[in-house]
């Protein structure tokens, strides 16, 4: 978060500078608009004199000039709105791209605790508010301030004694607006936070709607939503209540100043210090001042309210990744698939620790892996089994460099993975997760995820290896079939085979199978298992599985518990030992631990 002394708006300066040409156009049009403003009171004075004389020709003459002035003002108003709109929309686009890009540089450790609904709200609504305040401040606020200065100068020129009446009230109005603005910022922070929480709740519930309905928890979720919506309503009400107080208070001061002006004006006319025509011009200029003053108040309120949105957006932009490439990192050349974990220790950071000065010490980490030493040969199939929390998934997460170990090294073909670019490493590792994620787009785009140019021959070849080609061909649009959100229009087995094809298309030397068949029915599992066996050929493979039936054919099975490898060997070897793997096998199949014939 930003420091209390500095506004988050200062992060906008680079983006504002990029749009300086459009802001120049806007400012030129604002100047032109403001310059034409004082002409109207002068024309009103001349027209009122002609009307008083009953001179119809002169009246029409001066009114035609007034109409021309309106036309010129409208042209300048059009220019300033177009320029401000272009600048603010470009700024919003640039901010969104920068923030979204920075989020993608963060590690999965950040997203493990971040609320997706909150992130979505910051990238959409909060950035939209920044664009709105940029538009209003460049197009309206600056114009209004200049109008106030020019018109105030004009009325001082007409009669300084009369003008001093308004000057007496102005400081009181300014102090009042400042106090209201400070309070508005505080309330807006609460309001934005409550809206983000509400958005996160909706994202969570709609993403798990089947679970909600399966547990008949609709009333529970409605009550939870109503509670959060009430928090948002209360926060919004306090903000609107403050605004409702502000306008009458300022309006009362404005009305008081107008009454005083009429009294002083009548007094000046009675003394002969002011002509009635000048008083008409004065009142016209005063009437023209009301709109820019009101707009200035509105824009200032918007400015203070949006500061909370700016804090939330630029907080994301300033986040630093915990995992970064070393300076001079090289691209990892094509590998054979040899992997070596050298005395690796790793732990997830203790959530209760906020001391960044201890970031490199072991004291703030919950240990997951302890002194892991493992060598895997090219083309070897290694299965990782053990109870939940043993560290199986952590082993492969470290290989893909989703995290870095606190101690030790991981080598691929003898190269420390910390010394190579993350992209070149991950392009040589294929992952088939337990929960398959499909994205909105065609089947072909999902198989070739992350690629801008689609090679349909390669896509089809990968799908055939993954046992996906046959069911894809049954769709009327084949590989161009549209995949709905999260792929809910496909069965679990179909989604998994598309995920296998996605991994195969990369032609990785290392393949990670994370519980790839655990959630499938027997028929789908058979198809997926057949696809996996083809995909595993000539690759180094890491299999994570709770179902031991899927790992019997592995070249080596590692039994992990409490972050350590307790046993290592083939399926028959581990059963014959009668150790922890044999106990696991017995519990899972409810049969004596014996070496199969």
Over residues 373-388, the pLDDT tens digits come to 999 999 999 999 988 8
| For residues 531-539, average pLDDT | 82
Of 160-164, 288-292, 439-443, 589-593, the one with minimum mean pLDDT is 589-593
Residues 178, 284, single domain; the answer is yes
Residues 386, 279, single domain; the answer is no
Tell me how crowded residue 189 is: count the other CB atoms within 10 A of its CB. 17
| For residues 431-456, average pLDDT | 84
Distance CA 189, CA 123 (A): 16
Contacts of 589 (CB under 8 A, 6+ apart): 548
Higher pLDDT, 414 or 194: 414
Residues 96, 200, single domain; the answer is yes
Kindly state whether residue 530 falls inside one of the protein's structural domains: yes
Kindly state whether residue 372 falls inside one of the protein's structural domains: no
| For residues 212-225, average pLDDT | 69
| For residues 555-571, average pLDDT | 91
Of 151-155, 367-371, 415-419, 468-472, the one with minimum mean pLDDT is 151-155
Per the CB < 8 A criterion, the answer to whether 567 and 577 are in contact is yes
Contacts of 264 (CB under 8 A, 6+ apart): 161, 162, 165
- Going by pLDDT thresholds of 50, 70 and 90, the confidence category of residue 497 is confident
pLDDT of residue 435: 76
Residues 313, 392, single domain; the answer is no
Kindly state whether residue 493 falls inside one of the protein's structural domains: yes
Residues 313, 390, single domain; the answer is no
Kindly state whether residue 484 falls inside one of the protein's structural domains: yes
pLDDT of residue 376: 94
pTM of the full structure:
0.71
Q: What is the pLDDT of residues 111-156, one digit of tens each?
A: 877 777 788 888 888 888 888 888 888 887 887 888 778 777 777 7
Kindly state whether residue 87 falls inside one of the protein's structural domains: yes
Q: What percent of the chain has pLDDT over 70?
A: 76
Kindly state whether residue 245 falls inside one of the protein's structural domains: yes
Q: Is 141 helix (H, G, I), strand (E, B) or coil?
A: helix
Residues 387, 306, single domain; the answer is no
Q: Is the dihedral of CA 295, 300, 303, 305 positive or negative?
A: negative
| For residues 19-23, average pLDDT | 89
Higher pLDDT, 360 or 533: 533
Residues 297, 388, single domain; the answer is no
Read off the CATH number of the domain in which 61 is found. 1.20.1560.10
Backbone angles phi, psi at 342, to 5 degrees: -110, 105
Residues 534, 396, single domain; the answer is yes
Residues 392, 271, single domain; the answer is no
Kindly state whether residue 329 falls inside one of the protein's structural domains: no
Residues 177, 304, single domain; the answer is yes
Domain containing 101 equals 9-317
Question: For the chain, what is the domain count?
Answer: 2
Kindly state whether residue 328 falls inside one of the protein's structural domains: no
With a cut of 60, say whether residue 333 has pLDDT above it: yes
Beta bridge pairs of residue 328: none
Residues 298, 437, single domain; the answer is no
């Amino acid at each position: 978060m930003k420091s209390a002394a500095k506004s988050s708006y200062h992060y906008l300066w680079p983006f504002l500078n990029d749009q300086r040409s459009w802001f120049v156009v806007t400012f030129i049009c604002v100047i032109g608009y403001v310059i034409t403003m004082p002409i109207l009171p002068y024309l009103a004075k001349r027209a009122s004199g002609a009307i008083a004389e009953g001179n119809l020709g002169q009246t029409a003459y001066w009114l035609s000039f007034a109409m021309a002035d309106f036309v010129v003002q409208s042209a300048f108003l059009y220019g300033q709105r177009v320029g401000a709109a272009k600048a603010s929309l470009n700024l919003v686009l640039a901010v969104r791209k920068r923030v979204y890009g920075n989020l993608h540089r963060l590690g999965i450790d950040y997203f493990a605790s971040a609320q997706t609904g909150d992130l979505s709200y910051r990238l959409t609504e909060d950035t939209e508010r920044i664009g709105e305040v940029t538009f209003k401040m460049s197009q309206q606020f600056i114009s209004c301030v200049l109008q106030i200065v020019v018109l105030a100068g004009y009325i001082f020129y007409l009669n300084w004694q009369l003008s001093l009446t308004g000057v007496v009230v102005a400081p009181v109005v300014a102090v009042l607006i400042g106090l209201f603005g400070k309070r508005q910022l505080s309330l807006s922070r609460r309001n934005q936070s409550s809206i983000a929480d509400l958005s996160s709740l909706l994202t969570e519930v709609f993403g798990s709607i089947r679970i909600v309905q399966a547990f008949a928890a609709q009333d529970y979720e409605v009550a939870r939503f109503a509670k959060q919506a009430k928090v948002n309503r209360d926060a919004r009400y306090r903000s609107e209540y403050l605004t409702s107080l502000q306008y009458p208070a300022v309006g009362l001061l404005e009305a008081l100043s107008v009454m005083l002006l009429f009294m002083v004006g009548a007094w000046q006319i009675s003394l002969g210090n002011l002509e009635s025509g000048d008083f008409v011009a004065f009142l016209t200029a005063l009437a023209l001042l009301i709109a820019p003053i009101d707009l200035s108040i509105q824009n200032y309120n918007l400015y203070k309210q949006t500061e909370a949105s700016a804090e939330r957006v630029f907080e994301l932009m300033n986040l630093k990744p915990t995992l970064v490439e070393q300076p001079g990192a090289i691209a990892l050349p094509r590998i054979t698939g040899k992997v070596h974990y050298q005395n690796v220790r790793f732990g997830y950071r203790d959530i209760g620790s906020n001391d960044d000065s201890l970031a490199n010490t072991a004291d703030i980490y919950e240990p997951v892996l302890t002194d892991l030493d493992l060598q895997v040969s090219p083309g070897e199939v290694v299965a990782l089994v053990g109870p939940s929390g043993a560290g199986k998934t952590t082993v492969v997460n470290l290989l893909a460099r989703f995290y870095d170990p606190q101690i030790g090294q991981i080598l691929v073909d003898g190269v420390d993975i910390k010394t190579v670019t993350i992209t070149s490493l991950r392009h040589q590792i294929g992952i088939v997760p337990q929960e398959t994620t499909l994205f909105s787009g065609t089947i072909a785009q999902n198989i070739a995820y992350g690629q801008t140019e689609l090679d349909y021959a390669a896509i089809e070849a990968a799908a055939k290896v993954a046992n996906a080609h046959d069911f894809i061909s049954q769709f009327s649009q084949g590989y161009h079939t549209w995949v709905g959100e999260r792929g809910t229009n496909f069965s679990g087995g179909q989604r998994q085979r598309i995920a296998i094809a996605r991994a195969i298309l990369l032609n990785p030397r290392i393949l990670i199978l994370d519980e790839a068949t655990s959630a499938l029915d027997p028929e789908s599992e058979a198809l997926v298992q057949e696809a996996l066996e083809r995909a595993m050929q000539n690759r180094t493979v890491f299999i994570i599985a709770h179902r031991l039936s899927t790992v019997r054919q592995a070249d080596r099975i590692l039994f992990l518990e409490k972050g350590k490898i307790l046993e290592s060997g083939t399926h028959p070897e581990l059963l014959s030992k009668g150790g922890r793997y044999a106990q696991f096998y017995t519990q899972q199949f409810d049969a004596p631990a014996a070496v199969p014939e």
